[in-house]
Structures are given as C-alpha cells and as structure tokens.
Structure 1
Amino acid sequence: MTASLKDTRILITGAGSGIGRATSLKLHELGAHVFLTDINLDGVQETEKRCASQESPASTSSAKLNVADKAAVEAYVESITKDGAKIDHVFNCAGVNPTSYKLEETTDEYWDKLMSVNLRGVYNVTRATIPHMASPGGSYVNVSSINGVHAYANQAIYCATKWGLIGFSKSMALELGPRGIRTNVVAPGYIDTPTNAGIVKGGEYVERMAKGNSLGRLGQPEEVADVVAFLMSNDARYMNGSVLEIDGGLKG
C-alpha cells in the first residue's frame, strides 16, 4: 500500500478536522503529496502543521475552500494543476452533519445548505478535477454515511444528500471506469469527531451511539482513514463503485 501511494498527489476536502484530518495525516504518512482544503482556515492550517511534523518527505499545502462555490473550486483546481500536473486521487470529505428536524419544521435554508455542500460540493470538485486526473490509475473516494444506506426519522434532508451521493458515485464509477479512474464510497457510522451531533450533546447520546453497534464503541477517524488509504491504493485496483460501511456492525 505504501509504495502505491508514495509521491502521488491527493486533493482532500474537509481536511480541517475529524475524518478529513485523520485521512490527511494517514496519506501524507504514506508518502503522498497532500493538497488540504477546508472552509475553516485555522483548522486546515493545523492539519498541515501536523502533517509537516511527520517523518515524511512528501509536501503539503493548505487553503481555505468552500466546495459549494463553483468558481472558487475551479480556481483552486487550476492553481494546483499548473504546467499539466496531474491529480492522482481525490477525497471528497467536506460535508455538513445533520441536525434532527421533523419534516414540517425543516427550513428552505437548511435544505439549501445541506444540498449545496453535501451534494453540489462533491459535484463541483469532481467536475473540476476530471480533466486533470491521472488516467489510468486515478481514483475518487467520496464520503457518504450510514444515513446513505439506512433511513432515519427526522433526518430526511441529510439522508437525501447521502443517498444521492451514493447514486452519484456509482454513476461516476460507470462513466470514468473506462478511463481507468475508479470511484468508491465510504459510509461511516458513529465516529468520534468534533462535529458529530451526538458527541456535541454528550452524555447519554454518546452512550447510545456506542451501544448502537455490535463492537460496543464509537469508531475513530483513523479507522476510516485506513479504509480510504486502502481504496486509493493498488490493493483496491479492481474495486469500482463499491460502498464500504464502516460502522462497527450497526444494530437494527
């Protein structure tokens, strides 16, 4: 795995915390040159600082990026592909976590926010990077959720974005596969990240999440990062259009 990622160039969105940060560190540790982006500049700069402290010769860069902003995404991609430089892999991790609302209490603003980041953001990044992807050998890994394969009451909008992302990704796999560019999806369950709504609430919510899977604990961001690194590696060279649930054995 290490050899197949060494000296690759990987664009990561949502790199400022949680799964995005853990994956950035993992990929950089494996020798990949990482291009770190997040809407939170302080967060993504901290991720870059942590990458730079690793014993890895690979380069790092960080930038503030709102994936919902088409023009900003296109400008950023152009800036990292000057002189014909290729992108080997893209990790579409930027997203907005859910807030529980009954449908009749959901606002248009909430709908627009989740759709613009969770779906349109991936669309913007994908469309902008396709012309610059290594072909063959390139890959995308997109972040869905257990909410993308299991429906939950009071989270209809979030579920819609994450189910939609899986459909979008499977279509990507069919369209880009003939070029030798793979697309796969990770669907994390209850992961211990700062933006997880249950973690924010704490107490009984954390306990409920931990008991919600057969391993009886929350997942760690690093455990998702390991799967992402695998999907980008040559070890997963025949995986295309796959959805990997990382949920500790979800109950029910």
Structure 2
Amino acid sequence: MSSRLEGKVVLITGGGSGIGQATAIELAKLGAHLAITDVNLEGAHDTYRLCGGKPHYCGVMDVSSKADVELRVSEIVAGLGRLDHVFNCAGINPTSYPLTDTTDEYWDKLVNVNLKGIYLVTRATIPHITTPGGSYVNVSSICGLYPQAEQAVYCATKHGVIGFSKSMALELGLKGVRTNVVAPGYIDTPTNSGVVKGEEYVTRMEEGNSLGRLGTPEEVAGVVAFLMSEKAKYMNGSVVEVHGGLKMLES
C-alpha cells in the first residue's frame, strides 16, 4: 500500500503561502500533478516554481466567487485532464474582537472565504472526481473544536467546515470519494494571528504547547498527504488535530 500520489491530480486552494505552499511541495515530491491556486498570483507562482513548474497548473482563484471558481476548475480539468483530490486550504485567520465590535463586513469576509469558499470549490469539483479513491481534505482549526473568546466569527466558520465536511463524507462515501479535515493548532506562518501579535504572544503559544514550540506548515502538509494516500483509504469524515498537544486554549 503506497503513500505516493504518482500522477494524481490535486487542486490546492490557498496554495501561495503557509500550509498550502508546504503541502504543494510535499505532494509534488510524492509525484502528484498540482493545480496551484491562490488569490495572490505572485504567491501561486512562487509555489509553482518551488514545485518544479510543469506538469503543474498555476492560477488565481478567489474562492468566494462562484464565477471565478467555476472558470478555474474548468481550466484545470481541461489542462490536466481530471481531478483526483482537492485540498481546500484557502482561508482568513482571525482578528480578536468582542462581538459588539465586529462589523458586518468582517462577518461577510470570513464566512465567504472560510466557509462559502469550501462549499463553492467542492460543488464545482464533485462532477470531475469520478474515480474511486479520490478525496477532499478541508482545513478547519482547533478553533473549530475548542472555541475562543473574541473569535466568534472565525470559530463559527471553522465549526462550519467540520459540519460541512462530515456531511460530504456521508454524501460522497458511496462513490468511493472520502472527505476528511485537518484542524491545525498554533502553526508558524506569517499570517498566524499570534505571530502577527508579536513575540510575547508567540511565547504564550509556545508555553501552552506540550512540545514547547509552534508547529510548522510542513508538519501539517505531511498529514494532508497521508489523508490523500491509500494508507488512509478507510478514513472518511475524520477530523485530525495537528497541534502538538495543547495545554491551554484561550484568546
């Protein structure tokens, strides 16, 4: 039973940085053909180069736009021939606000990207994943399992990802297509809300972790690759926490 993904076609959203980029690099090493998308074209191109260029696809995708998602998916299938796996990684990290300070615009932004984006990409790609053994891996967060104060909107979107994914696991399972979730904890990326807050908050995150450090995007990427592989072929509807052993969960 192989963990390689030789010749498999994988769509990655949010592939221009962080976990998306690290996962693209890992999957390329395993022989996958990638459709690397991001709202930031420069970031997507950087990932494309790091993955060796051809036979991969690279393009802009705004996951919150139905028209943009459908256009890109049709281009990807036309260019790469099919789809086998989808990694829904595009998302916006939280800013801590008391709910009374939260704006409608902030709600719309997070819901449209973090939750509606997965819905749009999944709906557009289902008709193209026709071979048993295909899968979806969707990114939630520890906040989708353990709510935090002043992050109600973000937590709502990440809880929603889990509920949506479990429903898709039931809906697509009989077709041989699996849906699983990764729920990262404190990962050292430039957009991590704690990293943005500065060194003192990073120290708090490290001290609240049983391993005494932040995780790396590559450590999440390894889990994603496993979930797509034949080694995980009986995992469907699972939520895999990737957080190093948290000792505290607070905002």
TM-score normalized by structure 2? 0.96
The amino acid that maps onto 2:46 is: E
Aligned to 1:241: 237
The amino acid that maps onto 1:45 is: H
Aligned to 1:89: 85
Distance 1:19 1:214, change over 3 A: same
Structure 1 distance, partners of 2:84, 2:10, is 6
Aligned to 2:124: 128
Distance 1:247 1:3, change over 3 A: closer
Aligned to 1:62: 58
Aligned to 1:251: 247
Structure 2 distance, partners of 1:251, 1:19, is 23
Matched, 1:198 2:232: no
Aligned to 2:48: 48
The amino acid that maps onto 1:96 is: I
Contact kept, 8 Å, 1:19 with 1:224, in 2: the verdict is: yes
Identity %: 64
Aligned to 2:104: 108
Aligned to 2:214: 218
Structure 2 distance, partners of 1:240, 1:124, is 20
The amino acid that maps onto 2:17 is: S
Picking from 158, 180, 183, the partner of 2:179 is 183
Aligned to 1:30: 30
Contact kept, 8 Å, 1:169 with 1:183, in 2: the verdict is: yes
The amino acid that maps onto 1:156 is: A
Number of aligned pairs? 248
The 4+ residue runs of structure 1 with deviation greater than 6 A are none
Structure 1 distance, partners of 2:211, 2:79, is 49
RMSD (Å) for aligned C-alpha atoms: 1.4
Structure 2: 5+ residue stretches without partners: none
Distance 1:96 1:83, change over 3 A: closer
Matched, 1:155 2:155: no
Structure 2 distance, partners of 1:159, 1:187, is 12
TM-score normalized by structure 1? 0.95
Aligned to 1:75: 71
The amino acid that maps onto 2:153 is: I
Structure 2 distance, partners of 1:233, 1:133, is 15
Aligned to 1:8: 8
Structure 2 distance, partners of 1:172, 1:82, is 25
